[in-house]
Amino acid sequence: MQIIIFDDAQQVAANAAEWVAELINKKSNPVLGLATGSTPISLYQQLVNKYQANQLSFKNTTSFNLDEYLGINASNEQSYRHFMNENLFDHVDIDKNRTFLPTCNQGENPRAQGLAYEEKIKQAGGVDLQILGIGANGHIGFNEPTSSLASRTRIKTLTKQTLTDNSRLFKQDEFQPTLAMTMGIATILDARYVLLMATGEKKSQAVKDMIAGPLSAMCPASALQMHENTIVLLDKAAASKLEEQEYYQWANDQNIKINQKFGLYHNY
Ligand code: PGA
């Protein structure tokens, strides 16, 4: 894992936007893995700004989101489709027919839907760069603690902690889904690059468990220790429980020098 610590959340978003822009500008048919939640909102804002400044076009981009709620449809304001439209898709030149979320509507078979989503990702050539947040309980996507590290796209029952964490986004009488379709951990590990963003003190224990804890289904994000190209972007608060911060900084300084000498190499 490459761990980069920034002063604040804005710098995390700006750096994440550079990674996305580099992929899109470099590859003729880029495939992005996208995430919802509070953390990536400022990344999407930065990407919209770049598009409006003519620095970035999403015309040839295909996207796959990590997850989608069950029991509400796409037009519901709480759906992740709605979130993506609001925060990114409606403001850039992406072809919405090539933006996918793992849905399972009423009457559809979730197993078949999960398999079909995996197949669609494969047909698109696989995810080049997967954007991730992390739950306070260490989840990635909606892969809650005890999720199989070999899991694929499927239905997950959300934990009490996740429901409580996300309840801030729902009005008092509003229906809050307790089930979701989510890419599995193995699906996420298939991405060529993973870019995980975490900000705020509330994430600091999960960040520590992910980076320095044992590989364990109790912290699904720890599976990223098995991934060849994971970059973790943190603000100081999210990094506050890490003991090896000096080493990460030093290693990044060396990386910059190596990249200057040999050129940046991303295997997209
Ligand atoms: P958040 O969610 O960005 O809203 O904190 C992250 C996650 O649950 O993956």
State pLDDT tens for residues 70-102.
999 999 999 999 999 999 999 999 999 999 999
Task: Select from 265, 210, 264 the least CA-distant residue to 3.
Answer: 210
pLDDT value for 228: 95
Residue 37 CB–ligand 1 contact under 6 Å:
yes
What's the rounded mean pLDDT across residues 28-39?
97
The Å distance, Cα 126 to ligand 1 centre, comes to 23
Residue 62's alpha-carbon distances to 39, 58, 128, 152, in angstroms, are: 21, 8, 10, 20
Residue 220 CB–ligand 1 contact under 6 Å:
no
pLDDT value for 265: 75
pLDDT value for 264: 77
Give 266's pLDDT tier (boundaries 50, 70, 90): confident
What's the rounded mean pLDDT across residues 229-248?
97
pLDDT value for 156: 96
**Cβ distance 127 to 64 under 8 Å?**
yes
pTM: 0.96
State pLDDT tens for residues 117-168.
999 999 999 999 999 999 999 999 999 999 999 999 999 999 999 999 999 9
Which numbered atom of ligand 1 lies nearest the CA of 202?
A: 5
Task: Select from 65, 115, 111, 113 the least CA-distant residue to 87.
Answer: 65
Residues with a known catalytic role: 67, 137, 139, 144
Domains, the chain, in order of start with CATH, read 2-262 (3.40.50.1360)
